[in-house]
């Protein structure tokens, strides 16, 4: 059952479709029907007011050799736990527990956090504010003000709304930004109690408190993990000081179910407690790679990572699967402009293409987003069944034509209609994963139509590229491309390579097991 969103300032009512949890370290293990469409996520942490001052520099100051910024625009929005809560909100009902100051910036934070339920705590000092001054997209300086932001007046009575929210939630995200929330004894006690019942994701900070025991997932970045491991009574050395080993060292030191150390463009390393293990033996550490992103702003990627991970854990994913989704989401976030791209999209209104990796993106939105980043958008299509050297050669050549390559991949139903009932040999999920693993491919979009004209009209690539076995007159989508001013490019074909040829070789070598009919339409 889907519940309406809670009114701002009120703790949501009791859960109508609770997710069962068992054991002191359990994550949800319910059947799919028991997982709510919108889980209740409680975000606990420190809130900041982030400000971006954009302008241009054309001269130096007369009194010092410093640039003069002519301000063109000022944007501000919640940062820290506030940003994490906003990122959770599209897919969950969110309660944000955080200190909020009674000043003008605090009121601005409350206004911008209207989409989540606030449980405010007392705040020591003025609102913490971080201002980045930039010229032509290049950061010149960051100015930090306010704080310290330590929670004030936290007593059993004032913390009762926190206890009530935690008692009803499906998952918790602790977004520590060093303000003091994670060092408060009473709040730590409540979080430790909750970690034994529901998945708790802890995004740490060097100035914060250590994760409470039984956290489902702790998400330090590589620098934070190495610093934390170095501060242990018996710090790791040699090979044990490398990031993968540190992940498991910290998992045991923190008594966590799992630790996922994020390592930028390398992705993440996940050490998860083996089922039934008592923390004594080392765990197998899994590496979950990220898609490389060029020339991007990583600000806010950690919040995007943690918000995605807590959403997936609330829906029953394992920590490793949650981290895999979180790595992909963080990469997409960075590619879409980071926190500033998110703020620009919010300010632009509901018609903007929002950098929300968890939400399905339409073909038109994808095209608009890629074009907005600049450069030439290239697209192609095909079945790509039994990916071979000819495919890779064509895709690599297509990518060299521009800055982004989108592949429209025929669905299994479409391939059967085009190639016959025995195709595809490789199912859609595997074909897509193989294509996404190619460095030359930026995005894969599933195509259920037999020919791509409608998809091309939505995506509107600057260049539509096809292999040399096609002619422009044989491409019905060519008219669509020309109509909006795009170009059609045919690429050289690598002779002697085709899926049909590979299938024929299999049939010839083992005719008893080869049931694929010899008559097929042209290879992809």
Cβ burial 238-266 (10 Å sphere, 16+ → b, else e): eeeeebbbbbbbbbbbbbbbbbbbbbbeb
Rounded Cα–Cα distance for residues 229 and 514 (Å): 56
Find all residues with CB under 8 Å of 339, minimum gap 6, and list them.
Answer: 50, 79, 83, 297, 299, 300, 303
Crossing angle for the helix pair 222-230 and 243-253, to the nearest 10 degrees: 60
Residue 60, by phi and psi: left (phi above 0), alpha (psi -120 to 50) or beta? Answer: beta
Tokens 């971006």 found at: 52
Rounded Cα–Cα distance for residues 396 and 246 (Å): 37
Rounded Cα–Cα distance for residues 492 and 143 (Å): 54
Q: Can you read off the two tokens belonging to residue 500?
A: 């049909």
Residue 424, classified by CB atoms within 10 Å of its CB into exposed (0-12), middle (13-18) or buried (19+), is buried
Cα torsion angle, 333, 339, 341, 346, sign:
positive
What is each CA distance from 188 to 18, 161, 232, 257, in whole angstroms? 24, 15, 20, 17
Show which residues are catalytic.
303
Question: Per 3-state DSSP, what percentage of the chain is helix, strand, and coil (rounded to 5)?
Answer: 35, 25, 45
Q: Within 13 Å and on the Cβ side, how many CA atoms surround 439?
A: 3
SS3 401: coil
Rounded Cα–Cα distance for residues 497 and 489 (Å): 20
CA 44 to chain centre: 20
β pairing state of 138-145 and 129-135 = antiparallel
- What DSSP letter does each residue of 82-110 carry, written as one string? HHHHHHHTTTSEEEEEEE--SSHHHHHHH
N-terminal to C-terminal alpha carbon distance within the chain: 44
If we measure between CA atoms, which residue out of 49, 55, 144, 31 comes closest to residue 105?
49
């Amino acid at each position: 059952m889907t519940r309406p969103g809670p009114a701002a300032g009120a703790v949501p009512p009791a859960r109508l479709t609770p997710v069962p949890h068992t054991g002191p370290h359990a994550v949800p293990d319910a059947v799919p029907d028991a997982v709510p469409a919108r889980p209740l996520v409680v975000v606990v942490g420190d809130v900041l007011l982030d400000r971006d001052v954009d302008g241009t520099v054309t001269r130096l100051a007369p009194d010092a050799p410093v640039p003069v910024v002519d301000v063109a625009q000022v944007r501000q929005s919640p940062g820290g736990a506030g940003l994490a809560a906003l990122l959770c909100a599209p897919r969950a009902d969110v309660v944000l527990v955080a200190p909020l100051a009674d000043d003008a910036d605090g009121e601005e934070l409350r206004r911008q956090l209207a989409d989540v339920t606030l449980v405010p705590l007392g705040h020591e000092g003025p609102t913490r504010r971080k201002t980045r001054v930039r010229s032509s997209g290049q950061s010149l300086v960051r100015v930090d003000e306010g704080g310290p932001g330590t929670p004030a007046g936290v007593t059993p009575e004032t913390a009762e709304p926190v206890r009530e929210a935690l008692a009803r939630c499906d998952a918790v995200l602790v977004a520590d930004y060093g303000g003091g929330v994670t060092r408060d004894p009473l709040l730590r006690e409540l979080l430790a109690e909750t970690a034994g019942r529901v998945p708790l994701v802890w995004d740490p900070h060097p100035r914060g408190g250590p994760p409470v025991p039984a956290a489902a997932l702790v998400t330090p970045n590589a620098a934070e993990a190495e610093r934390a491991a170095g501060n242990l009574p018996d710090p790791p050395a040699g090979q044990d000081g490398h990031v993968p080993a540190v992940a498991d060292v910290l998992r045991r030191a923190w008594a966590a179910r799992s630790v996922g150390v994020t390592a930028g463009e390398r992705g993440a390393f996940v050490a998860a407690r083996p089922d039934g293990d008592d923390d004594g033996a080392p765990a197998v550490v899994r590496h979950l790679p990220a898609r490389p992103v060029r020339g991007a702003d990583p600000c806010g990627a950690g919040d995007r990572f943690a918000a995605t991970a807590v959403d997936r854990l609330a829906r029953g994913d394992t920590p490793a699967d949650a981290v895999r989704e979180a790595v992909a989401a963080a990469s997409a976030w960075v590619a879409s402009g980071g926190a500033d791209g998110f703020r620009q999209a919010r300010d632009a209104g509901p018609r903007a293409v929002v950098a929300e990796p968890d939400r399905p993106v339409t073909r038109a939105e994808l095209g608009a987003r890629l074009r907005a980043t600049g450069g030439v958008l290239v697209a192609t299509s095909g079945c790509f069944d039994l990916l071979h050297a000819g495919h890779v050669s064509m895709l690599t050549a297509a990518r060299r034509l521009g800055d982004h390559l989108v592949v429209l991949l025929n669905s299994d139903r479409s391939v059967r209609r085009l190639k016959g009932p025995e195709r595809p040999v490789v199912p859609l999920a595997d074909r897509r994963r193989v294509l996404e693993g190619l460095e030359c491919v930026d995005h894969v979009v599933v195509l259920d139509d037999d020919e791509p004209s409608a998809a091309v009209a939505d995506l509107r690539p600057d260049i539509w590229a096809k292999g040399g076995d096609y002619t422009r007159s044989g491409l019905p989508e060519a008219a669509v491309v020309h109509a909006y001013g795009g170009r059609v490019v045919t690429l050289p074909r690598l002779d002697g390579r085709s899926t049909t040829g590979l299938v024929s070789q299999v049939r010839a070598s083992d005719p008893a097991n080869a049931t694929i009919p010899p008559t097929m339409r042209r290879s992809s």
